[in-house]
Structure 1
Amino acid sequence: MKKKVFLTRRLHKFALEELKKKYQIEVHSGKIPIPKAKLCSKIKDVEGLICFPYDKINREIIDLAKNLKVISTYSVGFDHIDWIYAKKKKIRIGYTPEVLTDATADLAFALLIDLLRRVSEGDRIIRKGKWREIYGAYDYVGVDLQDKTLGILGLGRIGSTLAKRAKAFGINVIYHNRDKISKSKEKSLGVKYVSFEKLISQSDIISIHVPHTPETEQMFNLRIFKKMKKLSFIINTSRGKVINEKDLVTALKKKIIAGAGIDVFESEPIGKNHPLVKLDNVILAPHIGSSTKETRAKMAEITVRNLNLGIKGKKPIYSVGY
């Protein structure tokens, strides 16, 4: 008899077909994220779970999963899973990190260009029929990218890839990491290590590329925003909870900083009445760092491979906690 696998949302057709060959699968097709009551019901007798970033896989869910051998999440993040508790229960966890690198770095750089050149803002001006109002020499001006300083917080795969994009546009790059990278890598990327305080005070643009941990929880707050340059910008494509959104709104409203490009939020999805939506000096994206056809297909492929290995009691390609 085929082992049971439950998916909290539909995957690509090729991935579903591969899963059907090996397992008895069920795919949730209703409200997203899956209602807790339904997940509690379905998790009881499955050996494999494929979940997504908005699904909360906490202790209660894990305790109900008597036969569960693997949780394969379709995401680079895994803070929606109580992975420490899952590990105690000997449940394998797989995720999909490396394939998102280029797509997420590209999005961060797209937000950077958009912020400095005010592209989205211009789109809104035209759609509102207000083009004639910005004919003056000083009306609606952006700033050059060349010779600006980009501060990258977290020079991992995505941060390093972003640095390459930035250098090609004549942008100076500084970075702060828990661990300083090698001199040879610094030279090849053309980056300079600085303290966190210097990164905050010297950068014209700050791009965040750190995971959400107790140490990074709301590390960008009003105190930090006040240390940034008044004409600086902040970009976040990492995790929403790294920024205190209430303080960010205050900083943007009071022009403590010049603008922000945000792809991730404290609580998702946000609605049309969210305070950030009402501001012109912020660009909002609906958590689309990995959202390219090519990247999403690769993620599906890895999600299935992680599940296959985990059900066999083997370590997933990308494994959490083992």
Structure 2
Amino acid sequence: MTRPGRAAAGRVLRVGPLGPSLAETLRTSYDALELPDDGPERAAFLAAHGGDVVAAVTSGRFGVGTDLMTALPRLGAVISFGVGYDTTDTALARRRGVLVSNTPDVLTDCVADTALGLTLDLLRGFSAADRFVRAGRWPRDGGFPLMRRVSGARVGVLGLGRIGRAIAARFAALGCPVSYHSRRRVPGTAYAYAGSPEALAAAVDVLIVATSGGAGTRGLVSRDVLRALGPGGYVVNVSRGSVIDEDALVEMVTTGALGGAGLDVFAAEPHVPEALFALDNVVLLPHVGSATVQTRAEMERLTLENLAGFLDRGALVTPVPETA
């Protein structure tokens, strides 16, 4: 879908914090407006400028939700820095003809590396062993407890998209039997297919969550799925915090009903359940799955290409699928 000339007299709006380089480019090259935080200031801003905005640049953390999109009557495109776009009302965007883009592919390898790193840390206890040494416990308490081998562990990937396939390839290289569950079978893959998240969890030692976020996957990793993993199983999440029943996860890792968890994402970021802080069977990261200099530079480049494509010719370089 294209809209030549739609953006000729419109403004660009920045929604939420973005990296310093991208924010500066938006300010200096596009004279971008900045959406204030919630409250009276935002309402006044939208009343004054909402009708001028034709493109919004945001991130997967903030997006353009229903209320904001409604307040932007001339909006033609939502340009998202990141692969996730579940915080944007894509259904309303489709009805209104608003284009939505993200930055796929460029962050696939780094997120897959993060999933592998979290799994290695979680099963081998590297972070916990580091804390053990720093606390002076090695000479006092003796050797660190034995942990779990990663090579050969049964690994399940929930969501065999671009990132899921990259994760699966990394574990297959370690000699791990890999199986997966997605909404439908993926043609041409040699990995075993499980008919449900519960069936996948019951068949593996490590369940890696790599599915998209949004209403369709909210709570997909339910208490029943975690129960199927059991006290000898581990869950690793590099997707969205909303995909896992976080209350159930906290309860089960603190009581031993689940072996452990490696988490890069949380339900109410940046807030993390404090009950997890003292646990050595949990590894916590501050949503850094794609946080490398190289990947963020590529994400910024693709974000700006999408913005320029829309403003110049009404088309996006990497539009999200129409079925999203």
Who is 1:185 aligned against? 189
Residue type of the partner of 1:210? Answer: T
Deviation per CA, 1:35-60: give whole Å up to 9, x if none. 45555415512222111233252222
Who is 1:66 aligned against? 73
Residue type of the partner of 1:301? Answer: R
Q: Equivalents in 2 of 1:14, 1:195: separation in Å?
A: 42
Who is 1:239 aligned against? 240
Q: Equivalents in 2 of 1:37, 1:58: separation in Å?
A: 18
Residue type of the partner of 1:65? Answer: L
Who is 1:311 aligned against? 311
* Residue correspondences, number: 309
Q: Is 1:158–2:158 an aligned residue pair?
A: no
Q: Secondary structure of the residue that 1:50 maps to in structure 2?
A: strand
Who is 1:51 aligned against? 58
TM-fit CA distance, 1:61: 1.3
Change (3 A) 1:120 1:3: same
Change (3 A) 1:245 1:20: same
Normalised TM-score (structure 1) = 0.87
Q: Equivalents in 1 of 2:22, 2:219: separation in Å?
A: 39
Q: Is 1:167–2:175 an aligned residue pair?
A: no
Q: Secondary structure of the residue that 2:111 maps to in structure 1?
A: helix
Query: Identity rate of aligned residues, in percent?
Result: 29
Give ranges in structure 1 of 5+ residues lacking alignment. Answer: none
TM-fit CA distance, 1:6: 2.2
TM-fit CA distance, 1:119: 0.4
Change (3 A) 1:59 1:221: closer
Q: Secondary structure of the residue that 2:109 maps to in structure 1?
A: helix
Who is 1:270 aligned against? 271
Q: Secondary structure of the residue that 1:93 maps to in structure 2?
A: strand
Change (3 A) 1:278 1:14: closer
Who is 1:147 aligned against? 152
Deviation per CA, 1:239-280: give whole Å up to 9, x if none. 111111111011111211211000111111015x62222322
Q: 8 Å contact 2:205–2:232 — kept in the other structure?
A: yes
* Residue range with higher mean Cα deviation, 73-82 or 221-230: 221-230
Deviation per CA, 1:103-134: give whole Å up to 9, x if none. 10000000010011100111111222222354
Change (3 A) 1:56 1:12: closer
Give ranges in structure 2 of 5+ residues lacking alignment. Answer: 1-7
Who is 2:302 aligned against? 302
**What are the residue-to-residue correspondences of 1:1-322 with 2, within 5 Å?**
3-8=10-15, 9-11=17-19, 13=21, 16-17=24-25, 20-21=28-29, 23-27=30-34, 34-35=37-38, 37-40=40-43, 41=45, 44=50, 45-136=52-143, 139-182=144-187, 184-186=188-190, 191-196=191-196, 197-271=198-272, 274-312=274-312, 314-320=314-320, 322=322
Change (3 A) 1:14 1:256: closer
Q: Secondary structure of the residue that 1:98 maps to in structure 2?
A: coil
Q: 8 Å contact 2:18–2:59 — kept in the other structure?
A: no
* Residue range with higher mean Cα deviation, 244-253 or 125-134: 125-134
Q: Equivalents in 2 of 1:37, 1:56: separation in Å?
A: 20
Q: Equivalents in 2 of 1:79, 1:112: separation in Å?
A: 25
Q: Equivalents in 2 of 1:309, 1:37: separation in Å?
A: 34
